[in-house]
Amino acid sequence: LTQDELKKIAAYKAVEHVESGMILGLGSGSTVKHAVDRIGELLQLGKLHNIIGITTSQNTHQQAVSLGIPLSDLDDHPVLDLAIDGADEVDPHLNLVKGRCGSLLREKMVEGACKKFVVIVDESKLVDYLGGSGLAMPVEVVPFCWKFTAKMLQDLFRNSGCVAKLKCGESGEPFVTDNGNYIVDMYFKKDIGDLRAASEAILRLAGVVEHGMFLDMATTVIVARELGITVKNK
């Protein structure tokens, strides 16, 4: 099975949690894209109705519009029944790294407003500890003096061999989020230890908007593997 086929399997399994009448948080990225497609298909087939979607990025918004999924926002629906989204990393306690597609702020707002948050991943996303994949842990920062903020972030985690880099597009220009901010990607060489303390230290920096560690937020993680699906509940 290809990685995308595994993503689709996890996504379809997650959509089994969707019931008619639900207000749904719709995440961002290539895994949840399959779930949004499936929800659109079930609405089209009349197997689901009275669904309201609340999206976490312009990309997901456009996909949902093209599928005819009715949409609203947190202002009108401050409490959601269920959110479905992918993740970049999942640790054994179901803590997540998210945001490599640049949507972490809206994802954290929407998924923080949901009664249930189902995460869908292929097995390549499982790590022993956050940051363990050696890939980026994104932090959304204001563009104003972003170098200053990046240096403060890097110095905060000097003991974990942290390197902080501005997320850029293909031609080297800064990536700009849907909220008009920049992303500083943090790379760790060692376990950052106390995640709650790390989260608070990052959020204390005035130039930081939000970070990509989603601690104690997932209620269920669906993992698609070659040998089948495993479901981990909080």
The site for ligand DER (CB under 6 A) is made up of: 27-31, 85-88, 98-101, 103-104, 107
Could you please report the per-residue DSSP string of 63-90?
HHHHHT--B--TTT-SSEEEEEE--SEE
Which residues are tagged catalytic? 107
CB of 116 to ligand DER, least distance (A): 17
Helices (H), 70-169: 104-111, 146-156
Asked if residues 110 and 175 have their Cβ atoms less than 8 Å apart, the reply is no
Q: Which residues pair with 166 in a beta bridge?
A: 184
Torsion from C-alpha of 26, 27, 29, 30, nearest 10 degrees: -50
Which residue is closest to ligand DER by CB? 29
Choose between 9 and 152: whose C-beta lies nearer to ligand DER.
9
In sequence order, what are the residues at sequence separation of 6 or more whose Cβ sits closer than 8 angstroms to the Cβ of residue 201? 156
What is d(CA 163, CA 184) in angstroms, rounded to the nearest whole number? 10
Amino acid at 188: F
DSSP helix, strand, coil percent of the chain (3-state; round to 5): 30, 25, 40
Looking at the Cβ atoms of 40 and 152, the one nearer to ligand DER is 40
Q: What residue has token string 């409490």? A: 79
Least Å distance, CB 159 to ligand DER, is 26
Q: How far is CA 157 from the centre of its chain?
A: 22
Rank residues 13 and 98 by Cβ distance to ligand DER and give the closer one.
98
| Residue 199 CB-density burial (10 A; 0-12 exposed, 13-18 middle, 19+ buried) | middle
C-beta of 31 vs 219, nearer to ligand DER: 31
Minimal distance in Å, beta carbon 148 to ligand DER? Answer: 25
CB of 49 to ligand DER, least distance (A): 27
The smaller minimum CB distance to ligand DER, of residues 7 and 22, is found at 7
Q: How far is the CB of 210 from ligand DER (least distance, A)?
A: 12
Question: Is the CB of residue 209 less than 8 Å from the CB of residue 140?
Answer: yes
